[in-house]
Amino acid sequence: MSSLIEWISQPWPWYVAGPIIALVMFFLLYFGNTFGISSNLRTVCSIIGGGKNCEFFDFNWKNQIWNLVFALGLVIGGSVAHEYLSSSSEVNISAETVAELKAYGIENPGNHLVPKSLFTWESLFSIKGFVMLVLGGFLIGFGTRYAGGCTSGHAISGLSDLQLPSLIAVVGFFIGGLAVTYLILPYLLTL
Amino acid sequence: MKFLKYLFVGLIFGITLAKAEVISWFRIYEMFRFQSFHMYGVIGSAILIGIILIQFIKRNNVKSLDGEPINIKPKQFSIPRYLIGGIIFGLGWAMTGACPGPMFILLGNGIGVISVVILSAVLGTYVYGLVRNKLPH
């Protein structure tokens, strides 16, 4: 048993993760639902009363409880992986990425899941932290609902079903992501 | 009890994305800089197996757990909606290094400040709901 835990505690390669993600999608379909995590954000808007002055949030959110439970599973899964199944906090990014981020002033790139200096409460009061976390989060919420889905709903579910709208959305994800990574982050990170 | 299976599948998904480092800001940066195959391998193999599983469902008329036919609704066609919405999401994805699934998984990993990202995302969704009638769809 301990050798199994030790084995699981290594970082998992892409060819293990990808098929499991596909199986998660399959089981949600088999349970009579669909794989799409950003819908939970809309459900939360409905629960806190957003439906009173906006018809977009006026729906029976109780039909979405299953998805909130799924999201709760994500939090618990993250916690289990962190507490019991991780031998190290290092992320095995390429040497090229490490060198590049060092040049932008990120300390020890890849030593933790996220850049430690950015993902702090104090950082929210800096321009860099505010833009990346507060504005970034806002754009995720706005964009996913505008596009009708996020990585799970479009990139995985939609493309697996060979849907053209999802391909357009994924092209959009990359246009936005490349613009930030190539044009904005080099300035923002060195602020 | 009927929700327990969702908790379990979510748990597996959370562990998988954490263990494959998909929830790492560094992995998303690396992906957008094309400096590693890792993320493309994860997403690409998920789609490949996903295509096979969905074709299997369709060709064999696989029924859901409740015995209902599994219907996957086709998304209504539009270019501006998916392209503009997609670009806006992509901007946020590259900044935070997290899409909606990983946000929750990072919370479980003890990255407390990600709760601000989640609240901001809820606010973004709310503002979209308020202005959606004025946007091209």
Contact B26/A114, CB-based, under 8 Å?
Answer: yes
Is the minimum CB–CB distance between A73 and chain B shorter than 8 Å?
yes
Partners of B27 on chain A (C-beta within 8 Å) are 91, 93
pLDDT in tens, B71-95: 888 999 999 999 999 999 999 999 9
Distance from C-alpha of B91 to C-alpha of A147, rounded to nearest angstrom: 13
Is A3's pLDDT higher than 90? no
pLDDT in tens, B6-47: 999 999 999 999 999 999 999 999 999 999 999 999 999 999
Q: How far is A180 from chain B (nearest CA, A)?
A: 6
Q: Say if CB A137 and CB B126 are below 8 A apart.
A: no
Partners of B83 on chain A (C-beta within 8 Å) are 168-169, 171-172, 175
pLDDT in tens, A100-146: 999 999 999 999 999 999 999 999 999 999 999 999 999 999 999 99
Supply the pLDDT for residue A131: 97
Is the minimum CB–CB distance between A147 and chain B shorter than 8 Å?
yes
Q: What is the share, in percent, of chain A residues with pLDDT greater than 70? A: 99
- The candidate with the shortest Cα–Cα distance to A13, out of B27, B26, B101, B98, is B27
Is A7's pLDDT higher than 90? no
Contact B96/A140, CB-based, under 8 Å?
Answer: yes
Contact B90/A131, CB-based, under 8 Å?
Answer: no
Beta-carbon contacts of A99 under 8 Å, excluding residues fewer than 6 positions away, are none
Partners of B26 on chain A (C-beta within 8 Å) are 91, 93, 97, 101, 109-110, 113-115
Is B1's pLDDT higher than 80? no
Average pLDDT taken over every residue of chain A: 96
B125 phi/psi in degrees, rounded to 5: -65, -40
Which site among B3, B5, B15 would you substitute to test the A interface, given the most A Cβ atoms closer than 10 Å to its Cβ?
Answer: B15
Q: Per-residue DSSP letters for A105-119?
A: T-SSTTSSSS-TTTS
Q: What residue spans define the domains of chain A? A: 1-87, 118-191
Distance from C-alpha of A135 to C-alpha of B116, rounded to nearest angstrom: 10
Supply the pLDDT for residue A88: 85
Prediction ipTM score: 0.96
Q: Between the CA of residue B18 and those of A58, A175, A182, B40, what are the distances in Å?
A: 34, 25, 26, 16
pLDDT band of residue A82 (cuts 50, 70, 90) is very high
CA A140 to chain centre: 9
Least confident range of A5-14, A175-184, B60-69, B101-110 = A5-14
Q: Say if CB B98 and CB A150 are below 8 A apart.
A: no
Instruction: Pick B92's closest partner by Cβ from A26, A136, A175.
Output: A136
pLDDT in tens, A33-53: 999 999 999 999 999 999 999
Tell me the torsion sign for CA atoms A150, A156, A161, A167: positive
Average pLDDT taken over every residue of chain B: 97
Distance from C-alpha of B134 to C-alpha of B137, rounded to nearest angstrom: 9
- Render the burial of A89-99: b for 16+ CB within 10 Å, e for the rest: ebbebbeebbe
Distance from C-alpha of A151 to C-alpha of A97, rounded to nearest angstrom: 23
Q: What's at B74, amino acid-wise?
A: P
Structure tokens at B94: 């590259």
Q: What is the share, in percent, of chain B residues with pLDDT greater than 90? A: 96
pLDDT band of residue A98 (cuts 50, 70, 90) is very high
> Is A178 strand, coil or helix?
helix
Mean pLDDT of A58-84: 97
Q: Which B residues in the span 57-116 are in contact with A, Cβ-Cβ below 8 Å?
A: 57, 62, 64-66, 68, 70, 72, 74-79, 81-101, 103-114, 116
Which site among A74, A163, A174, A185 would you substitute to test the B interface, given the most B Cβ atoms closer than 10 Å to its Cβ?
Answer: A74
Contact B88/A139, CB-based, under 8 Å?
Answer: yes
Supply the pLDDT for residue B2: 87
Supply the pLDDT for residue A4: 83
Supply the pLDDT for residue A137: 98
Mean pLDDT of B112-128: 98
Supply the pLDDT for residue B8: 98
Supply the pLDDT for residue B34: 98
Least confident range of A86-95, A160-169, B52-61, B107-116 = A86-95
